[in-house]
């Protein structure tokens, strides 16, 4: 794939390889310790490497190292990066398939039409108005693609899997929308997703609240996931766990972990 003789470049790839391998070991180890009912038949949690703040070159290196899923939290950054990665990989001989892009950040409804151009998953659906916007965006992208006016996107062929992001902050207000839906509204939002043409409910997602024990938060997420799966058996995804709490998330039954800094290194502090 990307062949280079630049020693700095080779150094970065080696560094990523080493960090990636350590994270994969942690996932394996954590998965071995899972209780049987949280082990998903022995299937390992999927690793989504969150590449926000790092360049397309790093995504290409990760792809070379076998990473198949990457996460981003801002459309302004993800859109151009996904396009650059796709173009570079398509030029390779033989062409390499791009990674799946998982959108994991707060999403404004007016950005939905951009995100559906590259995203294979959206982890951060937390309100009905965003469901409406995403459904509309998928349907209009499909029409444009059929008319030859848009490049193919993952949502042209399959309904876009969306996760209900839950706010697990113990003092969450029912209408406080920063970073997730109130736990009491999760099932309703799952129904809205499933009832929207072009979308499907894939499961649930959360970020452990600051200053709280992640184990408790992920336990709540697990219970909410069970509620959702009773009505939507295919909505099995539980996206939980970042660099600092990967182990707690996997123990609680996470199917997807979103790891940034432990693979890519520290991000600049201001964002």
Ligand X SMILES: *Cc1c(COP(=O)(O)O)cnc(C)c1O
For ligand X, the binding residues in 69-98 under the rule CB under 6 A are 73
Which residues 6+ apart lie within 8 Å of 83 measured at CB?
118
Compute how many residues bind ligand X; rule: CB under 6 A.
Answer: 14
Between 1 and 244, whose beta carbon lies closer to ligand X? 244
In the bound complex, what is the minimum distance in angstroms from residue 48's beta carbon to ligand X?
8
Between 30 and 259, whose beta carbon lies closer to ligand X? 259
Task: Determine the interface stretch with ligand X among 141-149, 170-178, 220-228, 260-268 (rule: CB under 6 A).
Answer: 260-268
Tokens standing for residue 141: 């992208």
Chain centroid offset of residue 148 CA: 28
Regarding 2 and contact with ligand X (CB under 6 A), the answer is: no
Helix (H) or strand (E) holding 204: strand 199-206
Residue of 50, 62, 107, 181 that binds ligand X (CB under 6 A): 50
In the bound complex, what is the minimum distance in angstroms from residue 82's beta carbon to ligand X?
16
Question: For tokens 């992001």, what's the residue?
Answer: 165
Task: Determine the interface stretch with ligand X among 1-9, 128-136, 182-190, 242-250 (rule: CB under 6 A).
Answer: 242-250
Interatomic CA distance for residues 191 and 194, integer angstroms: 5
Between 184 and 266, whose beta carbon lies closer to ligand X? 266
| C-alpha distances out from residue 107 to 58, 111, 235, 241, Å | 24, 7, 21, 20
Residue of 52, 81, 102, 117 that binds ligand X (CB under 6 A): 52
Between 62 and 104, whose beta carbon lies closer to ligand X? 104
Between 49 and 96, whose beta carbon lies closer to ligand X? 49
Regarding 189 and contact with ligand X (CB under 6 A), the answer is: no
Regarding 67 and contact with ligand X (CB under 6 A), the answer is: no
The contact mask relative to ligand X for 30-49 (x = CB under 6 A, - = no) is --------------------
Please give the full DSSP string across 96-142, using - where no structure is assigned: -PPPEEEE-S---GGGHHHHTTTEEEEEEE-SHHHHHHHHHHHHHHH
Which residues 6+ apart lie within 8 Å of 139 measured at CB?
197, 198
| C-alpha distances out from residue 185 to 127, 159, 165, 188, Å | 9, 22, 11, 5
Regarding 207 and contact with ligand X (CB under 6 A), the answer is: yes
Between 96 and 252, whose beta carbon lies closer to ligand X? 252
Between 31 and 49, whose beta carbon lies closer to ligand X? 49
Which residues 6+ apart lie within 8 Å of 144 measured at CB?
150
Regarding 260 and contact with ligand X (CB under 6 A), the answer is: yes
In the bound complex, what is the minimum distance in angstroms from residue 123's beta carbon to ligand X?
7
Which residues 6+ apart lie within 8 Å of 77 measured at CB?
52, 53
Please give the residue ranges that form the binding site for ligand X (CB under 6 A).
50, 52, 73, 104-105, 207, 242-244, 258-262
């Amino acid at each position: 794939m990307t062949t280079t003789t630049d020693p700095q470049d080779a150094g970065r790839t080696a560094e990523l390889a080493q960090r990636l391998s350590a994270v994969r070991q942690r996932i394996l180890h954590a998965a071995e310790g899972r209780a049987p009912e949280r082990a998903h038949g022995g299937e390992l949690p999927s690793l989504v490497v969150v590449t926000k703040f790092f360049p397309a070159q790093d995504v290409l290196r990760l792809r070379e190292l076998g990473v198949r899923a990457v996460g981003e939290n801002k459309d302004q950054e993800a859109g151009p990066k996904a396009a650059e990665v796709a173009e570079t990989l398509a030029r390779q001989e033989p062409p390499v398939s791009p990674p799946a892009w998982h959108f994991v950040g707060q999403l404004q409804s007016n950005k939905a039409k951009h995100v559906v151009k590259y995203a294979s998953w959206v982890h951060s659906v937390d309100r009905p108005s965003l469901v409406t916007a995403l459904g509309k965006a998928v349907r209009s992208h499909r029409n444009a693609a059929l008319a030859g006016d848009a490049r193919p996107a993952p949502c042209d062929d399959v309904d876009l899997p969306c996760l209900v992001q839950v706010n697990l902050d113990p003092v969450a207000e029912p209408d406080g929308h920063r970073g997730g839906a109130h736990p009491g509204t999760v099932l309703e939002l799952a129904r809205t997703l499933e009832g929207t043409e072009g979308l499907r409910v894939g499961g649930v997602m959360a970020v452990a609240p600051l200053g709280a024990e992640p184990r408790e938060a992920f336990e709540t997420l697990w219970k909410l996931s069970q509620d959702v799966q009773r009505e939507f058996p295919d909505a099995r995804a539980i996206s939980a766990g970042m660099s600092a709490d990967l182990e707690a998330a996997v123990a609680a039954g996470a199917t997807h972990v979103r790891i940034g800094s432990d693979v890519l290194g520290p991000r600049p502090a201001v964002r």
